[in-house]
Amino acid sequence: MAWVTLATVLALGGTVAALLGARAVARSDADHARLAFHLASAEIAASVKQTIQHEEDLVVAAGAFVRGDPRATPAEFDRWTESVYAMQRYPELQNIGLVALVPASRLKAFESRSILPGRRARQWLPLPRTLSSGRSAGDPITAWLWSASRAAAQTSSPQASTTARSRRG
């Protein structure tokens, strides 16, 4: 009978020890998983922050260009986008351009300067919304976008030409 009691105590003790050990391992695994999650989250957040800062660099540079020459022509803006390799440095950028706000009273003159007879506008595209000028309801403003196309920007820089040649062979 003493052997049975000893065997029972040892079995119970072993079971309790196994349960405590399993619980400690589970807690350690959960702590490790939590730490891995926090580290991965911090890495993703840092990457997103860096990407946003990169995008802000272009916005700041474009703002400086416009503040430096508020009457810049679309051709000058195109040369600037090429000089800073905007389309190459920002591959997620699908388009970049200037917006001209044209009051209705000047729309005909704007269109005659911007559209060649028998052709479409020289990359000037009307934006879908007419804005209120804030001055009078009788002179609404139409917004037009000068669009610097990605294809033109990619083929205009020596860096892009080299990249295109290296892809061909």
Q: Is the pLDDT of residue 150 over 50?
A: no
Distance of alpha carbon 48 from alpha carbon 39, whole angstroms: 14
Per-residue pLDDT tens digits for 64-80: 998 998 888 888 888 89
Q: What is the mean pLDDT of the chain?
A: 75
Q: Which of 143, 141, 145, 146 is nearest to 105 (CA)?
A: 141
Can you tell me the mean pLDDT for 4-25? 86
Residue found under tokens 């351009």 = 97
* Predicted pLDDT of residue 151: 40
Strands 141-148 and 96-103: antiparallel
Helices (H), 69-157: 74-83, 86-89, 107-114, 150-156
Distance of alpha carbon 150 from alpha carbon 97, whole angstroms: 11
Bridge partners of 131, per DSSP, are 141
17-21, 39-43, 77-81, 154-158: segment of lowest average pLDDT: 154-158
Flag whether the pTM goes above 0.85.
no
Tell me which of 134 and 27 has the higher pLDDT: 27
* Predicted pLDDT of residue 163: 30
Bridge partners of 99, per DSSP, are 145
* Predicted pLDDT of residue 137: 55
* Predicted pLDDT of residue 152: 40
Per-residue pLDDT tens digits for 33-62: 899 999 999 999 999 999 899 989 999 999
Can you tell me the mean pLDDT for 14-33? 86
Domain boundaries, the chain: 1-71, 73-168
Distance of alpha carbon 96 from alpha carbon 116, whole angstroms: 23
Distance of alpha carbon 161 from alpha carbon 166, whole angstroms: 9
Percent of the chain residues topping a pLDDT of 70:
73
